Structure 1
Amino acid sequence: MSAPSVVIAGCGDIGSRLATQLLALGWEVHGLRRDVSRLPEGVIGIAGDLFNEDCPDTWPVGGVDYLVYCATATDHDEAGYRAAYVQGLQHVIGWLSDYGQEPEHLLFVSSSSVYGQQNGEWVDETSETQASGYSGNVMLEAEQVALNSGIPASVVRLTGIYGPGRERLSTQVREGYRVAIDPPLYGNRIHADDAAGLLAFLLRHVQQGGALDNCYIGVDDAPAPLAEVVDWLREYLGVTEWAADASVRRAGSKRCSNARAKALGWVPRYPSYREGYAAILEG
């Protein structure tokens, strides 16, 4: 039996982590990005631009068993989001059609920004989507492109990704970052390796004959108030001074559940912010 093949469109940080995990399992991995020299060793590069409707010259001509779309917006405005998540996905689906390629499954990497709950509610895949900004609304539009593509598809709504190179919160804490305590401002996180691990797990589940729902939330086991996370980081880092600025209040407060993914057998390597941040800071 030949190795399963996957195209990772938008093979940046999370895509590269996914590629590395799949290569270790013997998969044939194609990664699409502008600068293919930055792909992990062993990934077959597709030098291309998701914003350009012309199919890249190096698009694979053989079968494509799986597609993972995990683009990142270049411009952080509504037009930039639509170009990256809606139009880019439409381009890739068109390229598959041009080559007569019919993947067994498409994973579209979305975001928990599609939820706008404000009061610490628990949220799962069946919860009402109440996006309050353009980012969440564009993501919902892109999700429908994936789900209506004619390819069996699932969307994976990742929460706040952190990891090496994504250490903004710990930097803020070192600077004396303050956050509102009451009412608690709940946040949701997933380590970058776990985000990639969830995608790999879902692909393997399909490859081994399993069925997937059309939506999964990617989050660790322990949504926590931001003030709790800040206090833990302050103690870990030995920060004793507060910034002079008043306490910061960020928008949004919800607790995302990973019960659906865990029911399939997925287990995060870093079940809470404690294990994840400790691994980063020790490193």
Structure 2
Amino acid sequence: MSAPSVLIAGCGDIGGRLARQLLAAHWQVHGLRRTVSSLPAGVIGVAGDLFSEQCPAGWPTGSLDYLVYSAAATDHDEAGYRTAYVEGLQHVLGWLQQHGQRPKRLLFVSSSSVYGQQAGEWVDETSPTVAGGYSGRLMLEAEQVALDSGIPASRVRLTGIYGPGREWLLSQVRQGYRVVVDPPLYGNRIHADDAAGLLAFLLEADRQGKALEDCYIGVDDTPAALADVVGWLREYLGVTQWAENASVRRAGSKRCSNARAKALGWSPRYPSFREGYAAILEGRC
């Protein structure tokens, strides 16, 4: 059997981690980004701009077995999200059509921002999407573009990604970050390596002929109250002072379930924030 091929459109942090995992499994990996010199070794670079209608000159020839769309917004406003997620995906689908390519499956990397629940509810793939902000609303619009593409598509709704280079909470805790304790403010996390791992798992499952659903939530096993996470990090880091400002109340509170992905056979390497943050702080990831 020949090596399966994949194009990762928007091959940044998560896309690069995915590329490394697939290369280790002997996939042929094409990575599309503006600066191909930043791609992991072994990735076939495709220099291009998802935000432009112009097809990249180095677009891969021949068949492409899989497409992963993993863009990141440059501008964090409504126009920036539309450009990155809706129009960017439309551009890539158009380039595939120009070259007569029809992948076996499209994975669209989405976000749990499509869920606007705020009272600590448990959320799964069947829960209502009641996005309150433009980010969730435009993610839903982009998801629909994927579903209407004519390519079998699965949306992967990632929760709060953390990992090396994504250490905002650690920085805040070191400064004495305060959060509301009651009512608990539930949050959802996934280590960057596990986010990439879930994508790799789904691609391999599809390649092996397993039936995939059209939506998966990417989250670890343990949604947790933010106060519990901060408390654990304070103890781990030996932080004793508190910031002078009042307790911070962040919007949104829900608990996302990974039961669907686990039923397919996936499990996170870092099942909770404890294992994930310990790996970061000990330099093991």
TM-score for both structures, normalised by structure 2? 0.99
Percent of aligned pairs with the same residue?
80
Secondary structure in 2 matching 1:216: strand
SS of residue in 2 equivalent to 1:103: coil
Measure the CA separation in 2 of the matches of 1:282 and 1:4. 35
Q: Match of 1:80?
A: 80
Q: CA deviation at 1:58?
A: 0.4
> In the alignment, what sits opposite 2:131?
131
Deviations 1:44-92 (A, max 9, x none): 0000000001110000011000000000000000000000000000000
Query: 2:201 is matched with which residue?
Result: 201
2:3 matched residue in structure 1: 3
Q: Deviations over 1:219-253 (max 9, x none)?
A: 00000000000000000000000000000000000
- 1:44-63 matches, cutoff 5 A: 44-63=44-63
Which residue of 1 is the match for residue 176 of structure 2?
Answer: 176
Using the alignment, how far apart are the partners of 2:12 and 2:60 within structure 1?
19
Q: Find the aligned partners of 2:119 and 2:210 in 1 and give their Cα distance.
A: 36
SS at match of 2:126: coil
Give, in angstroms, the shift of residue 166 of structure 1: 0.3
**Offset of 1:12 from its aligned partner?**
0.1
Q: Does 1:166 align with 2:172?
A: no
Aligned length: 283
Counting only pairs closer than 5 Å after superposition, residues 14-163 of structure 1 correspond to structure 2 as: 14-163=14-163
Whole-angstrom CA distance in 1 between matches of 2:166 and 2:80: 21
Matches of residues 242-257 of structure 1 in structure 2 within 5 Å?
A: 242-257=242-257
How does 1:267-278 map onto structure 2 within 5 Å?
Answer: 267-278=267-278
Instruction: Kindly state the Cα deviation for residue 169 of structure 1 after the two structures are TM-superposed.
Output: 0.1
Unaligned regions of 5+ residues in structure 1, if any? none
Q: State the Cα distance separating 1:211 from its structure 2 match.
A: 1.0
Equivalent residue, structure 1, for 2:187 = 187
Q: Amino acid of the residue matched to residue 138 of structure 1? A: L
Using the alignment, how far apart are the partners of 2:105 and 2:116 within structure 1?
28
Distance of 1:90 and 1:247 partners within structure 2: 42
- Measure the CA separation in 2 of the matches of 1:209 and 1:128: 29
Q: Secondary structure at the match of 1:107?
A: strand
User: Matches of 1:86 and 1:64 in 2, distance apart?
Assistant: 21
SS of equivalent to 2:242 = coil
Distance 2:218 2:167 in 1: 19
Q: Residues 155-198 of structure 1, C-alpha deviation per residue, up to 9 Å, x if partnerless?
A: 00000000000000010000000000000000000000000000
SS at match of 2:58: coil
Q: CA RMSD in A?
A: 0.3
* Distance in 1 separating the partners of 2:115 and 2:23: 33
CA shift, 1:17, in A, is: 0.1
Per-residue Cα deviation, 1:191-217 (whole angstroms, up to 9, x for no partner): 000000000000000000111100000
TM-score by length of 1: 1.00
- Distance in 1, matches of 2:210 and 2:278, equals 34
Counterpart code for 1:123: V
Please give the per-residue CA displacement for 1:126-159, whole angstroms capped at 9, x wherever unaligned: 0000101000000000000001100000000000
Q: Distance in 1 between matches of 2:80 and 2:168?
A: 23
SS of 1:42's equivalent in the other structure is: coil
2:227 alignment partner in structure 1 = 227
Equivalent position of 2:239 in the other structure: 239
**How far apart in 2 are the matches of 1:225 and 1:95?**
44
- Aligned counterpart, 1:259: 259
Q: Which runs of 5+ in 2 are unaligned?
A: none
Give 1:229's aligned amino acid. Answer: V
Matched to 1:262, the amino acid is K
